[in-house]
Chains A and B, each alone.
Chain A
Amino acid sequence: MEQIGEHVARAKLRTIDEGEVELRRLWENGPVVLAFVRHFG
């Protein structure tokens, strides 16, 4: 099964309150559906 590379997993996302979180934190507690939207419009 393909795995997300370490470099990508450590990339940072911004939260809605201007904080930051590493991508890999999102699947720490279980499976996650990541929906990448085209835009927020």
Chain B
Amino acid sequence: MQLHRELHTIRSRGAELVVVGQGNSRWARAFRERLALQNPVYVDPEREIYGALGMKRGIASQLTLGALKNYWRALRSGHFPRGLLGDTLQQGGVLVVLPGGRIAYRYLSREAGDHPPVADVLAALPALGAGVTTRT
């Protein structure tokens, strides 16, 4: 999660950052407190929305060379996982959604630790009315 550091920029462009995770409300509350998030955090308990929006799930997206490199990079940057909660095979992603439910940007993580370039997400915000950018 890097986007929370861009909350001010996101809000300055008239948008809101919403974090969605899997599991339960208690985990979500602890996550929000630990990272001192100022934005809303919600839970998709059965991962119904993850699946409907195309987020990957499976061992093939978990045990990859890229995932290992991402894990090592996270460790080197001082991010030590506190344990995996929920479905460990589930990957995440980022969408920029406009009023009416139009998708301006979609990034589906290929493997663990795969995040969209923050600049790409921010670039999608003022690009209202532009076509969908999808990268899986």
- Residues in A lying within 8 Å of B, measured CB to CB: 1-5, 7-9, 11, 13-18, 21, 23-24, 26-41
Contacts and interface: CB of A to CB of B under 8 A. Distances in A.
Interface residues of B, number: 68
Interface of B: 1, 3, 10, 13-25, 27-32, 40-45, 48-50, 52-53, 55, 81-88, 90-104, 106, 109, 112, 121, 125, 128-132, 134
Nearest to B30: A40
A39 to B, nearest CB: 5
A38 B91 contact: yes
Given A3-B102, A31-B96, A38-B91, A14 B10 contact: no
Contacts, number: 163
A40 B98 contact: no
B28 A40 contact: yes
10 contacts: A1-B131, A8-B53, A13-B49, A17-B25, A23-B49, A31-B13, A32-B16, A37-B21, A37-B92, A39-B88
Contacts of A35: 1, 3, 17-20, 92, 94
A27 to B, nearest CB: 5
